[in-house]
């Protein structure tokens, strides 16, 4: 059994303090991206339901999985919204 050089492994590990450029996005950008993903899940589920209703070659379990994924991502988004509203209310209460 041949063991490869350990130096190649260490080159791939980022150094301390080194960050990726795409991870520098702010909270607003992250939230906007998440909302777009939730919307895309909803559109995908709707398209799969329509394809199934039209009799296209799509299995029922694919329709159900897409629907549940869209439902779960929407529920997560709503919980994030609720927590953000609660946080805002708490901050305004503290400042008074």
Residue 11 maps to a domain: no
Q: Say if CB 72 and CB 41 are below 8 A apart.
A: no
**What is the pLDDT, as a whole number, of residue 26?**
86
Residue 64 maps to a domain: yes
Enclosing domain of residue 64 = 25-95
As for how many domains the chain has, the answer is: 1
pLDDT in tens, 5-63: 555 555 555 555 555 555 567 888 888 999 999 999 999 999 999 999 999 999 999 99
- Does the pTM of the predicted model rise above 0.95? no
**What is the pLDDT, as a whole number, of residue 14?**
57
**What is the pLDDT, as a whole number, of residue 95?**
82
Q: Where does residue 17 fall: left (phi above 0), alpha (psi -120 to 50 degrees), or beta otherwise?
A: left
- Higher per-residue confidence, 84 vs 7: 84
**What number of CA atoms fall less than 13 Å from residue 92's CA on the CB side?**
5
Residue 60 maps to a domain: yes
């Amino acid at each position: 059994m041949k063991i490869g050089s350990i130096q190649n492994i260490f080159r791939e590990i980022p150094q301390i303090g080194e960050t990726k450029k795409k991870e520098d996005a702010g909270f607003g950008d992250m939230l906007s991206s998440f909302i777009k993903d939730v919307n895309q899940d909803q559109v995908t589920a709707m398209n799969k339901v329509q394809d199934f209703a039209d009799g296209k070659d799509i299995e029922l379990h694919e329709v159900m999985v897409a629907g549940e994924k869209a439902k779960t991502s929407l529920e997560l988004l709503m919980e994030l919204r609720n927590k953000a509203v609660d946080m805002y209310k708490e901050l305004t209460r503290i400042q008074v």
